[in-house]
Amino acid sequence: MNKQILHVHVAEPHADSLARAAETMEALERQEVVDPYFGIGFADIGCMLAVLTPRRWNLIALLREKGPMNIAELTRVTGGNHKNVHQDVLTLMEWHILDRDEEGHIRAPFDELVLDVKLPGTKAA
């Protein structure tokens, strides 16, 4: 079974993501087998940290460690507030970092999250 990897890009130029998509389309047109690519992008580190807060990272890690759970189980295991856990799960699902399995439980489908952060360029002197 192949690892499911989520690529998290921060401040990636649009041209880079478009080039990656074009390369994939060209490979598909040549009828080549293309590995699945899962990626999300954020404009800057502040945007990423607003979505991937420490509490949400802990939810992702907990679901990877313990397996799929429903919101009530997640709330009990984390000792958190039901409303906050529910909102955290919804946010992570909106970003496709979490999803639901066949039984409706919340799961973290990715084996790895690879973080790629582009630093701002320097201004010309």
Chain-wide mean pLDDT for the chain? 92
**Cβ proximity of 34 and 24 under 8 Å:** yes
Q: Is the pLDDT at 18 greater than 60, yes or no? A: yes
77 Cβ contact list (under 8 Å, min separation 6): 62, 66, 69
C-alpha–C-alpha distance, residues 69 and 53, integer Å? 20
1 pLDDT higher than 70:
no
Q: Which of 52, 22, 31, 32 is nearest to 40 (CA)?
A: 52
Q: How far apart are CA 38 and CA 53, in angstroms?
A: 20
Please, which pLDDT band fits residue 119 given cuts at 50, 70 and 90?
A: confident
23-61 residue pLDDT tens: 999 999 999 999 889 999 999 999 999 999 999 999 999
